[in-house]
Amino acid sequence: MDVLWAPWRMAYVGGPAGAGCIFCAALAGDARGRLVVCTTRDTVVMLNRYPYASGHLLVAPRRHTADLAGLAADEYADLAETLRRAAATLEHELRPQGMNLGMNLGAAAGAGVADHLHWHVVPRWIGDTNFMTTVAEARVMPQHLLDTYDRLRPAFERLDART
Smaller CB separation from Zn ion, 28 or 69:
28
Which entry of 64, 118, 120, 144 is annotated as an active-site residue?
118
Min. distance of Cβ 131 from Zn ion in angstroms?
Answer: 34
Q: State yes or no: is 118 an active-site residue.
A: yes
Find the shortest distance in angstroms from Cβ 21 to Zn ion.
Answer: 3
Residue with Cβ nearer Zn ion (24 or 111): 24
Name the residue whose CB lies closest to Zn ion.
21
DSSP-assigned states of every residue in the chain = ---SS-TTHHHHHHSPPP-S-HHHHHHHS-TTTTTEEEE-SSEEEEE-SS-SSTT-EEEEESS----STTS-HHHHHHHHHHHHHHHHHHHHHH--SEEEEEE--SGGGT-SSTTS--EEEEEE-TTTTTT--SSTT----SS-HHHHHHHHHHHHHHHHTT-
State which residue, 65 or 129, has the beta carbon closest to Zn ion: 65
Q: How far is the CB of 155 from Zn ion (least distance, A)?
A: 25
How near is the Cβ of 116 to Zn ion at its closest, in Å?
3
Which positions lie near Zn ion, rule CB under 5 A?
Answer: 21, 23-24, 64, 116
Rank residues 64 and 124 by Cβ distance to Zn ion and give the closer one. Answer: 64
Asked whether the CA dihedral 30, 42, 50, 13 is positive or negative, the reply is: positive
Residues tagged active-site: 118
